[in-house]
Amino acid sequence: MLSIAVLVLAAPAGAQPSGIISGLVLDATTQAPLAGAVITARGPALMGEQTAVTDDAGAFEITMLPPGTYALAVHHDGFLPFSPEGLVVKSRRMKVRLLLMPEPHPPPPPPAPVAVEFDEATMRGPAMISGPDPEYTQEAVERGVQGRMTVRCVVAHDGSVRGCRVLKGLPFMNASVVEALQRRRYEPATVQGKPVDVYYTFNLRLALPH
C-alpha cells in the first residue's frame, strides 16, 4: 500500500512567505531509502512545476513554494508511481515520508516440456499434416546423389519439429532435409491420448528428381 506521513514545522519569524516540502522516499516493503527518485510538485499557486531528486539517503527538498495546495508525483525505476494530493503548504516546512511499492514481477514462464524417446509399444506416432518435401540441391543433382538418410528430431506436442540432427546423411543434402523437416507440421505423438514431445527418428529415401 502506498502511503505518506506528514509533519509540519513552523518557519522562523521573519522568513519569506514561502514553503518547503522535504522528506524521504522509501521502499515500502523493506523501508530502504531510494536514491534517484524524482519528485515533482504541482499546484495552482506555482508557475509550472518544481522537481527534486533524492540523494543516497532517499532525502529530498523542494523549496520556494508559494502557499497553496500541492500534488506530488513520485517516480523511481522498478517501482509503482505514487501521486499524493492535497498537501497544504504555508510559510513553513512540510516533512513527508513517501513509501513506494515495487513493481510486480510477471510469473516465470512454465518450464518447457521434456522430450522423451518415441516408443511404438506405448505411443501413437506422429502423422504429417503439412509441409514441404526436401528440395534437391544443384550440387546433389550434378553428382547423382541419392539414397537413405536418418535424421533425429523433436516432434513437439504442438506438432512443430525442432532440434533436428543428421545421424546418416548424404552429400549436399543434409541442410535441405533438415530445413524441410523443421517447416513441417505433424499430428503429435500421444500417450493415452495426451500429446507429448518426443525424440523421433525420420528415415527418408531420397531419389533424384525426374
Q: State whether residue 28 is helix, strand or coil.
A: coil
Q: What is the CATH number of domain 116-206?
A: 3.30.2420.10
Percentage of the chain modeled with pLDDT above 90? 82
pLDDT of residue 4: 57
Phi, psi values for residue 17, rounded to 5°? -75, 65
pLDDT of residue 90: 87
Domain spans in the chain, listed from the N-terminal domain onward: 3-100, 116-206
Q: What is the CATH number of domain 3-100?
A: 2.60.40.1120
**Cβ within 8 Å of residue 1, ≥6 positions away:** 28, 99, 101
In this model, does residue 165 exceed pLDDT 70?
yes
pTM for the whole thing? 0.50
pLDDT of residue 6: 47
C-alpha cell recorded at residue 180 = 524441410
DSSP 88: E
pLDDT digits (tens, 9 = 90+) for 6-65: 454 444 544 457 899 999 999 999 999 999 999 999 999 888 999 999 999 999 999 999
